[in-house]
Structure 1
Amino acid sequence: MVNAKLIALLPDLASYILIVKEGSFTAAAKKLDVSPSALSKLMTRLEKALNVKLIQRTTRKLIVTDSGQKVYEQAMVMLNAAQQAVEVSTIDHAEPAGTITVAAPEAFLNSVLQPFVVPFLEQYPEINLHLRAVDGEIDLFKYGIDVAFKLTDTPDEALVLKELGKTDLVLCASPEYLAKKGTPVHPDDLKQHDCLYLAETNTDNIWSFMHGEEIQTVEVHGRYAVNHSQMRLSGVKQGLGVGLFHDFVINEALESNEVVRVLSDWQIRSNYYGAIAMQYAQTKYMPARLRVFIDYINEQLNLTK
């Protein structure tokens, strides 16, 4: 049975989503072409209807309550379902059109995806492509992500998975640095070396190695840490120390002998190790723009062929 009271709340819930995304009544009101006071009254009405406080309002910012966050996440599911309903009417259009939002780790985005952006946009002139550099897990539904690329052996089981290949982690340094400081022959030797790492979390300087059944975990140190792969690679090339990279970041520098592998007999493990996974939500009616993007990337990057 259709709940008439619930239907009446749908526009208010959609407006609430925009308020949360924009972070202010003023910004959201501007996009909705209404006054901030009108939007404030809408929020009061919605909170009264739901019998819950959604947002704490201060003079400087809006703070979403725990209950407000739960309502927001469910409202996003509603909005995504509405978007899919709209897509049904355009699914058979000859020319794919609209916006695709893609999330990927910074290193993968820069080294692997970036070269395919312009050719894809040239092939599909009616498609807009929004790319977001995201290192770590991201909620596709919450943040409106259409496709996420992950470097992991534990993909999200709730999403469709296309595995594009595997990625390995490579430890390397410049020949000049190794000539000056010596070449590590065991992971423990890294304690005596300058090492470059991400410094995003408190454990990014803890590196794990495996050789047969032997496992070694080393806490490394260095004067230079940066969460940008190309900046870190530049530091390694210039002799600042030993760096850890995905193979797709470092292969070109290895081939040109600008850097050399270190501890190549050891396998390195981390949170960003394993399969190159392309994931997206399961849907009965996939928009044409999303379908052509997935097919294009699968054809260009399928390293398992």
Structure 2
Amino acid sequence: MLNSRLIALLPDLATFILVVNKGSFTAAAKELGVTPSALSKLITRLEASLSVKLFDRTTRTLQITQSGQKIYQQSVAMVNAAQLAIEVSNEEHSEPVGTITVAAPKAFLSIVLQPLVTPFLQQYPDIELKLKVSDGDINMLEQGIDIMFRLTDAPYENLISKELGKVNLSLCASPDYLALKGTPHHPTELTMHDCLYLGETKTDHIWDFVQGNETHTIPVSGRYAVNHSQMRLNGVKDGLGIGIFPDFVIKEALQNGEVIQVLEDWTIKGNYHGVIAMQYAPSKYMPTRLRVFIDYAVKHLAI
């Protein structure tokens, strides 16, 4: 049950969240229309009330402590619950309103999601849409994400997941490159070819292939690595070698004959292989704005 001490802390905890999100007292104070010194005193009062140090402060930096991080996470959950209460009160609106924050891998965001942004916003003029590039694991609560898209064999189990289709990794090269260097017919032959890879981690150049009971782990090499799918595809089109891509990235280039798929009979294991999963937090109450986005995505993004 609520007590007087908790009620007194609620506004200060909400302000604490803003300071963390803004990264400084100055930026948070500007947002609130108060002075940085007044905001600093408020945080000091909150620290005294909680008997815990929230920030390590110097004249130039503001670093949240480990205890402060834990309190921040719980405070964010509190504010999100309050936001849901506001959404309930807004249910009488005839049209969905509010902000939706969506995260997705870079290539999927630009190729698959981005073309649907304008028609969605035109259909729902009172919704604001924020898109975030997220190519790795994310914490939806900490980063304020409402819905995320993942290309994976293992969707997060603690979230609701809607499968919109499947995505496979494919190898391709330009006709000119294959005419000059030959077409590989087995994964082991890739060691004799120029290959384009992401270059993000130490293992990006190690490609795993499966066909029935046969598996091969191939260390490839090449003179060009880039973690931008369109730039990497342009390099493939220009004859720089063989590249690995999610199939939706090369769909148009295949249809246009700009690239040719190789080793089609082999399954390639790696990041961005598996199902296209749209995931969001379970809730007894879902804001209307999220419900219409989910329905729109299911209708228009099934691949």
Give the TM-score taking structure 1 as reference length. 0.96
Q: Which residue is equivalent to 1:157?
A: 157
Partner of 2:129, secondary structure, is: strand
Q: Structure 1 residues 56-65 or 248-257, which shifts more?
A: 56-65
Task: Say if 1:91 and 1:285, in contact at 8 Å, map to a contact too.
Answer: no
Q: Distance in 2 between matches of 1:205 and 1:10?
A: 50
Q: Distance in 1 between matches of 2:43 and 2:60?
A: 18
Q: Distance in 1 between matches of 2:206 and 2:281?
A: 34
Shift of 1:302: 2.2
* Structure 1 residue identity aligned to 2:160: V
Q: Deviations over 1:83-116 (max 9, x none)?
A: 1111100123111111111000011111111111
Asked whether 1:68 is paired with 2:37, we answer no
User: Matches of residues 153-302 of structure 1 in structure 2 within 5 Å?
Assistant: 153-302=153-302
Task: Say if 1:92 and 1:288, in contact at 8 Å, map to a contact too.
Answer: no
Q: Which residue is equivalent to 2:77?
A: 77
Q: Distance in 2 between matches of 1:239 and 1:273?
A: 25
Shift of 1:182: 2.1
Q: Deviations over 1:261-304 (max 9, x none)?
A: 1111110011321110001111222111111111111111123x
Q: CA RMSD for the aligned pairs?
A: 1.2
Q: Distance in 2 between matches of 1:187 and 1:63?
A: 49
Structure 1: runs of 5+ lacking an equivalent: none
Task: Say if 1:152 and 1:277, in contact at 8 Å, map to a contact too.
Answer: yes
Shift of 1:241: 1.1
User: Matches of residues 101-180 of structure 1 in structure 2 within 5 Å?
Assistant: 101-180=101-180
Q: Which residue is equivalent to 2:22?
A: 22
* Structure 2 residue identity aligned to 1:281: A
Partner of 2:279, secondary structure, is: strand
User: Matches of residues 1-40 of structure 1 in structure 2 within 5 Å?
Assistant: 1-40=1-40
* Structure 1 residue identity aligned to 2:128: N
Q: Distance in 2 between matches of 1:157 and 1:177?
A: 43
* Structure 1 residue identity aligned to 2:183: T
Q: Deviations over 1:162-204 (max 9, x none)?
A: 1101111111111111222222222222222221112222222
Q: Distance in 2 between matches of 1:68 and 1:201?
A: 31
Q: Which residue is equivalent to 1:43?
A: 43
Q: Distance in 2 between matches of 1:14 and 1:214?
A: 56
Runs of 4+ residues deviating >6 angstroms: none
Asked whether 1:91 is paired with 2:91, we answer yes
Shift of 1:214: 1.2
Partner of 2:207, secondary structure, is: strand
Shift of 1:30: 0.7
Shift of 1:131: 0.4
- Pick closer, same or farther for the CA change 1:92–1:156 going to 2, 3 Å: farther
Q: Distance in 2 between matches of 1:23 and 1:295?
A: 35
Partner of 2:131, secondary structure, is: strand
Q: Structure 1 residues 135-144 or 53-62, which shifts more?
A: 53-62
Q: Structure 1 residues 136-145 or 197-206, which shifts more?
A: 197-206
Structure 2: runs of 5+ lacking an equivalent: none
**Length, aligned pairs only:** 303
Task: Say if 2:168 and 2:272, in contact at 8 Å, map to a contact too.
Answer: no
Q: Deviations over 1:102-151 (max 9, x none)?
A: 00001111111111111111111111111011101111111111110001
Q: Deviations over 1:17-52 (max 9, x none)?
A: 111111111111111111111111111111122222
Task: Say if 1:174 and 1:239, in contact at 8 Å, map to a contact too.
Answer: yes
